[in-house]
Chains A and B, each alone.
Chain A
Amino acid sequence: AQTVTQSQPEMSVQEAETVTLSCTYDTSENNYYLFWYKQPPSRQMILVIRQEAYKQQNATENRFSVNFQKAAKSFSLKISDSQLGDTAMYFCAFIVGSNYKLTFGKGTLLTVNP
Chain B
Amino acid sequence: KAGVTQTPRYLIKTRGQQVTLSCSPISGHRSVSWYQQTPGQGLQFLFEYFSETQRNKGNFPGRFSGRQFSNSRSEMNVSTLELGDSALYLCASSLQTSGYSYEQYFGPGTRLTVT
Interface size range of chain B in the complex: 20 to 34
A35 to B50, CA, bound (A): 21
A99 to B33, CA, bound (A): 11
**B103 touching A44, Cβ below 8 Å:** no
Which residues 30-70 in A have Cβ within 8 Å of B in the complex? 33, 35, 37, 43-47, 50, 52
Q: When the two chains form the complex, which single residue of B42, B101, B102, B108 contacts A44, counting CB atoms closer than 8 Å?
A: B108
**A100 touching B31, Cβ below 8 Å:** yes
Chain A to chain B contacts (Cβ below 8 Å), 11 pairs = A33-B101, A33-B103, A35-B103, A47-B103, A95-B104, A99-B56, A100-B48, A102-B35, A102-B45, A102-B92, A104-B42
Quick one: closest B residue to A106, CB to CB?
B42
Per-residue interface assignment for chain B, residues 31 to 44, with 1 indicating a CB less than 8 Å from any chain A CB and 0 otherwise:
10101000000110
Residues of A within 8 A of B15 (CB): none
A47 to B96, CA, bound (A): 16
A47 and B105 contact, Cβ closer than 8 Å, known pairs A100-B31, A100-B56, A101-B56 = yes
Quick one: closest A residue to B105, CB to CB?
A47
A50 to B104, CA, bound (A): 10
B25 at the interface (CB under 8 A from A): no
**B42 touching A107, Cβ below 8 Å:** yes
**A100 touching B101, Cβ below 8 Å:** no
B58 at the interface (CB under 8 A from A): yes
Most buried by A among B35, B56, B102, B107: B102
A66 to B53, CA, bound (A): 34
Quick one: closest B residue to A107, CB to CB?
B42
A103 at the interface (CB under 8 A from B): yes
Which residues 10-69 in B have Cβ within 8 Å of A in the complex? 31, 33, 35, 42-43, 45, 48, 50, 55-56, 58
Q: When the two chains form the complex, which single residue of B48, B90, B101, B108 contacts A101, counting CB atoms closer than 8 Å?
A: B48
